[in-house]
Structure 1
């Protein structure tokens, strides 16, 4: 990217001097985000009755972390858009839960669907897509637990049916 990889951190005198520090790279930011998500059971752990409040709390913590990353760093457009999309997925999950998770209290909705399970599956699918895109773009290994939410890899016959799998660039 056309950015200068160093930022000025200070000036010294009497003979004049400038102190420089290497900027955080997109790879570093992406790695920090992946490491943070690897420790969030909301994304891959089994859920049990009464876990709704903990899941909502975890989603709020992850949103706050992603917001901090977006504020703190001067990052490339692609990574910025991926983090914003992930943050939007967590916001959507919290919105679906309703105030204090009231929409998840009675697991079965009027249609007989498990609202909590559906919202959690949707969250994991959305986030898994962006985790896969970030991991592929920045060549970051994903631990076994978090890899459970990644989209399935392409199969050989997928290439023969009209194209190859491409992780979208933002």
Structure 2
């Protein structure tokens, strides 16, 4: 983690005995679980194509792309998942 990232996560200081409050970075495992949970609910990935309406398939794929882009944006570039 870079110094600037650490500084941006600091939320407060304690004066009597020196201390710092901060928000730690999110674990990669939590992000991966969120993505898998989201993808489990996408019909376009599991229902046979002949049973789907093309318009709804396109909407579902657009939502998947937006979600994945948003999740990748939340990860740090030095994380294994963020390097993709």
Structure 2, unmatched stretches of 5+, are none
Give secondary structure in 2 for the equivalent of 1:22. Answer: coil
Summarize deviations over 1:51-106 as a string: whole Å, max 9, x none: 101000000000000000111121523x232xxxxxxxxxxxxxxxxxxxxxxxxx
Q: CA RMSD in A?
A: 2.4
Larger Rg: 1
TM-score computed with the length of structure 1 as normaliser: 0.38
- Residue 12 of structure 2 corresponds to which residue in structure 1? 11
**Structure 2 CA distance, aligned partners of 1:31 and 1:53?**
28
Structure 1, unmatched stretches of 5+, are 82-170
Aligned length: 75
> Where do 1:1-150 residues align within 5 Å?
3=1, 8-12=9-13, 15=15, 17-48=19-50, 51-74=53-76, 76-77=79-80, 79-80=81-82, 81=84
* Contact persistence 2:13–2:20 (CA under 8 A): yes
- Dislocated runs of 4+, deviation >2 Å: 46-50
TM-score computed with the length of structure 2 as normaliser: 0.71
